[in-house]
Every structure is written in structure tokens, then in C-alpha cells.
Amino acid sequence: MIIHTEQSIVDFNFWSGAAERAELLTYTELKEVEYQIDELYPDGLEDTQLNDLFWFEFEEVCNWIGLDIDEVLGRE
């Protein structure tokens, strides 16, 4: 069975390395990323796709909202 849900990115339960990276972004930054995802993926993303974006493509995610990945990773 497939269940599709609509959920805000700020409420998404990231896992593994993606969870650590998502925690580095502010609420406002996460909402900006959510807006970009809505624009780039109008049909939505599967949970694994969203998690993988944050884990493996975090530099691109940061670029979407005008952030430098090194500065964001330096927030740790």
C-alpha cells in the first residue's frame, strides 16, 4: 500500500546524516528550502528523496537559498 501525505519540511523526521544537516538550518531557512522544493518538484518528493537531498546534495540545498555550505556546516 502507498500512502501519500503532505507535510511541512520543518515537521519532517530526517534520519542519519540528513538529520544533522537539517538541524543546522533555521526555521526560516527550512521554509525557504520548502518553497524551492515546491517549485522544483511540483509533484512532490518521496521521504527518501527528501532525506537524500539533505544528506548527499546539501551543498545544492544551501545554494537554493543563497547560503554557503561551509558557513552552514560551521554552525555545528
Encode the chain (76 residues) as per-residue pLDDT tens digits: 666 678 899 999 999 999 999 999 999 999 999 999 999 999 899 999 999 999 999 999 999 999 999 999 999 7
| CB proximity list for 8: less than 8 A, separation 6 or greater | 31, 34
All structural domains of the chain with their residue ranges = 9-73
Q: Note the Cα 40 to chain centre separation in Å.
A: 13
Q: Is 13 helix (H, G, I), strand (E, B) or coil?
A: coil
Predicted structure pTM score: 0.90
